Structure 1
Amino acid sequence: MKNLLTFILLGLVSTGLAQKKFIQCGQMLDVASGKLIKEKTLVIEGNRILEVRDGYAAGTSDDSVIDLRTATVLPGLIDMHVHIESEFNPRTYIKRFTMNPADVAFESAVYARRTLMAGFTTVRDLGGSGVNIALSKAISSGLTPGPRLFTCGKAIATTGGHADPTNGRSMELMGDPGPADGVVNSPEDGRKAVRQRYKEGADVIKITATGGVLSVAKNGQNPQFTVEEIRAITSTAKDYGMLTAAHAHGDEGMRRAIEGGIQTIEHGTLMSEATMDLMKAKGVYMVPTISAGKEAAKNAEIPGFFPTVVAQKAREIGPQIQNTFARAYKRGVPIAFGTDAGVFPHGTNAQEFGYMVEAGMPAEEALRAATITNASLLGMSSELGQLKAGYLADIIAVEGDPLRDVSVLKSVRFVMKDGVIHKN
């Protein structure tokens, strides 16, 4: 037995699996304090940070050294709102009828890789067809590169509401989708829909508490769930250990979602000061997605990009998100970082930092939202979001100082996820 163990250990060393990685950091961001610390070395063993040393350290000849002495090193970024299965373009509404699940899967793998290479090592996917669940499994098993993926599978809507998958179809194709399809009309339906998402392998529950911009339906802001329906959904999600999120543009739908126990409000476009205060009182987070609002408003001016009913909503709602975020931040509403990537090109998620800073949030707070805050919301505050011993080795690097110029986050030069280097 002793000889066998020796043989296994020698084999691990010879294949490099026992190697440590020494990442020499010119400066390292301590996101908790919002300060840059010069000349540190991160020692990586397996998929975790073993220790953080002062100065530039190196190991034995069997270990590897990664020289980032001219770079700023940060924890991997976390985006709490993406749609990894798709990317909007003028053919999006037609593609829903021409693409098979396998087509969606191949495209989503490209988007996932692009997101990872942009420095986002963890994302929360808030709605697709169910391919997103398969993609999450493929990434976690190492079949394809991508960020750590928490997904809701199919978002939950009401009949005709935002995320009813049959909106805009002919009467012949419309049918009457139910809880298995993510469409509910009672508390009982809501409970069944949550359990179905759990059965399918989802991590998160998302509801569409109000109308939306990109669905082929006339109202982009009306409330679409009762408080009783929302409570049934959130209480069931809590039983299954699932985080809850609510798409919401209109204020009344937001208020109902918060009263019903939802944990994050996505977009929050027409949020009143009373609703802001309610979010503060209940510890509910706003996920602003400013990038999506700007992109939708821009594309609404391109003839034929959106159906007419969508273009009108995009012009009205899209330009308002940044100003609402500014007011919510100043009022003390808890903020999480999320972009709605997929409405705009995947891999450009970091532009959101610029919009947040432009609206009045200091860079160090925006970075904290995309690391420590989001890790906590995902229930991984002891594993993600900081560069500390014992944490997962999700590490990125950029040139320059992101505290002075957040635009440097749009050009990530080094990406490690789970101790594996994906970009250098």
Structure 2
Amino acid sequence: MTRKSIHAGATAALLLLAPAAFAQKTYLHCGHLLDVRSGKLLSQQTIVVEKDRIVAVQGGYTAGTGAQDKVINLENRTVLPGLIDCHVHVLSHPGKGSNMNQFTMNPADYAYRAMGDAQLTLRAGFTTVRDMGGDDGVNISLRNAINKGQVVGPRIFTAGAAISATGGHMDDADGLSRDLMDKIGQPANIANGPDQCRQAVREQFKRGADVIKIASTGGVLDLSKDGSGPQYSEEEIRAVVETARDLGMKVACHAHGPEGIKRAVRAGVSSIEHGTLMDDEGRKLMKQKGTWYVPTIIAGKSVADSARVAGYFPAAIQPKALSIGPMLQASFGRAYKAGVKIAFGTDAGVYRHGVNALEFGYMTGAGMPAIEAIRAATVSAAELLGETTNMGTLEVGKFADIVALNGDPLQDISAMMRPTFVMKAGVTYRQE
């Protein structure tokens, strides 16, 4: 091989490497950028994105010099971090008689429907969601497909199948004929006693869950009398928490009634979901333990509205939806005023996907300032997920999860319902 050919080969190799050395950057010109930590709106800022990360946040409007660099004009918009909903059900979809879907829909049917709902959620500005349980094959597969770029949707952290006691909130065989109960048997998410609870956690870990969800009380959309009664002992919940902790997982707990809430908090769960009938003792305990509260106000209002439609819910559910649903907003208000940590969550799937931002209005309506409600869906939600190094704020090194709105949400919280630009991990999914 001649010196000339070696030189030519080296030059060709350098040319092949050149795109990596001069990677394309995107410059977002932000008329107003919301610093969620300080609560201040910063004027005329530029966010620089390379690949899936933010590499700079600069004052003024700047642009790159590379041939592939591009500028996105958001100069008439308010820009904030991608939103996080800490309580959704990606496979659920509301509708009259939807309780019968388990007998008429196949896993593929759920998957195709969920793909559409996932796109609606992302276009609404929610770049990350925490899925609180469904079919642990389909929701885990949807998460994986989104992560691989095979389908479009928000980043998903999923609980797989939520864990329940026999006859409890997530026991799908509850109320069926004996023949059907015998055919279903005991699914892997049904657990009684500490040993079965430990096994159920390990099973969800094995199947690929990111987080564990349990139910310590009944709920609105099950056959329990009023949803308030405890369904797990503190010993059982502690077995779940300790096993999950050993596996590096957090535990979210569905709970409406006061005793079920307090048992779960004492046992060390990371978050209480719903918390409708939380009492003063429960609030004090949550504040003392640093337990997060994910309120889902919109779900309470939605099921109450649906219960007024004849035949929408079975007879056992209708009165609970009418009585418990409207209590959520007031319970949230008391918890916020007591200093309980709040993370944004809506229970999407109980109501229609894509209008998650309605929750902001209900939160502010209960006394939470707009900036605190936005923090609940950004920096606070990221903390609950254990993802503060990757999301929650518009800072260097974090995912380029960026949303732009028409209007100023600090003055008009309904602006959260009007996203015109959505970027997730550096890819633009909405631009108007």
TM-score by length of structure 1 reads 0.97
Match in the other structure for 1:46: 51
CA drift of 1:312 comes to 1.1
Map 1:97-108 → 2, pairs under 5 A: 97-108=103-114
1:9 and 2:17 aligned: yes
Deviations 1:5-30 (A, max 9, x none): 423334569xxx92100000000000
Match in the other structure for 2:222: 215
Where 2:342 maps in the other structure, the secondary structure is coil
The one-letter code of the counterpart of 2:344 is F
1:206 and 2:213 aligned: yes
Match in the other structure for 1:289: 296
CA drift of 1:169 comes to 1.5
1:351 and 2:333 aligned: no
Change (3 A) 1:303 1:62: same
CA drift of 1:91 comes to 2.8
Distance 2:49 2:19 in 1: 19
1:128 and 2:134 aligned: yes
1:398 maps to which of 398, 405, 420: 405
Match in the other structure for 2:374: 367
1:257 and 2:278 aligned: no
Match in the other structure for 2:282: 275
Distance 1:176 1:369 in 2: 43
CA drift of 1:168 comes to 2.4
Match in the other structure for 1:110: 116
Map 1:89-168 → 2, pairs under 5 A: 89-130=95-136, 131-168=138-175
1:57 and 2:62 aligned: yes
Distance 2:182 2:77 in 1: 56
The one-letter code of the counterpart of 1:417 is K
Cα pair 1:167 1:217 within 8 Å, conserved? no
Where 1:157 maps in the other structure, the secondary structure is coil
CA drift of 1:216 comes to 3.1
| Greater Cα offset, 365-374 or 176-185 | 176-185
1:88 and 2:88 aligned: no
Distance 1:187 1:2 in 2: 64
Change (3 A) 1:197 1:178: farther
Cα pair 2:252 2:269 within 8 Å, conserved? yes
CA drift of 1:158 comes to 0.2
Distance 2:39 2:388 in 1: 17
Map 1:173-252 → 2, pairs under 5 A: 173-175=180-182, 180-252=187-259
Cα pair 1:179 1:192 within 8 Å, conserved? no
The one-letter code of the counterpart of 1:299 is S
Change (3 A) 1:280 1:169: same
Match in the other structure for 2:32: 27
Distance 1:323 1:112 in 2: 30
CA drift of 1:51 comes to 0.3
Cα pair 2:237 2:264 within 8 Å, conserved? yes
| Greater Cα offset, 165-174 or 111-120 | 165-174
Cα pair 1:115 1:346 within 8 Å, conserved? yes
The one-letter code of the counterpart of 1:327 is R
Cα pair 2:32 2:75 within 8 Å, conserved? yes
Match in the other structure for 2:5: none
Deviations 1:155-183 (A, max 9, x none): 00000000011122111112386775300
Cα pair 2:252 2:272 within 8 Å, conserved? yes
Distance 1:11 1:364 in 2: 41
Cα pair 1:276 1:328 within 8 Å, conserved? yes
Match in the other structure for 1:70: 76
Cα pair 2:188 2:203 within 8 Å, conserved? no
CA drift of 1:235 comes to 0.3
- Any stretches of 5+ residues in structure 2 without a counterpart? 1-8
Deviations 1:356-392 (A, max 9, x none): 0000000000111110011111111111010111111
Deviations 1:272-295 (A, max 9, x none): 001100000000011010000000
- Aligned residue pairs, count: 421
After TM superposition, where is structure 1 displaced by more than 6 Å over at least 4 residues in a row? 176-179
Distance 2:275 2:99 in 1: 25
**Identity percentage of aligned residues:** 52
The one-letter code of the counterpart of 1:49 is I
Distance 1:214 1:73 in 2: 37
Where 2:308 maps in the other structure, the secondary structure is coil
Cα pair 2:218 2:255 within 8 Å, conserved? yes
User: Bigger radius of gyration, 1 or 2?
Assistant: 2
TM-score by length of structure 2 reads 0.95
The one-letter code of the counterpart of 2:223 is V
Where 1:27 maps in the other structure, the secondary structure is strand
| Greater Cα offset, 251-260 or 54-63 | 54-63
2:423 maps to which of 412, 416, 423: 416
Distance 1:306 1:91 in 2: 7
Cα pair 1:211 1:248 within 8 Å, conserved? yes
Where 1:308 maps in the other structure, the secondary structure is coil
- Any stretches of 5+ residues in structure 1 without a counterpart? none
Distance 2:159 2:358 in 1: 24
Distance 1:345 1:361 in 2: 24
Cα pair 2:122 2:154 within 8 Å, conserved? yes
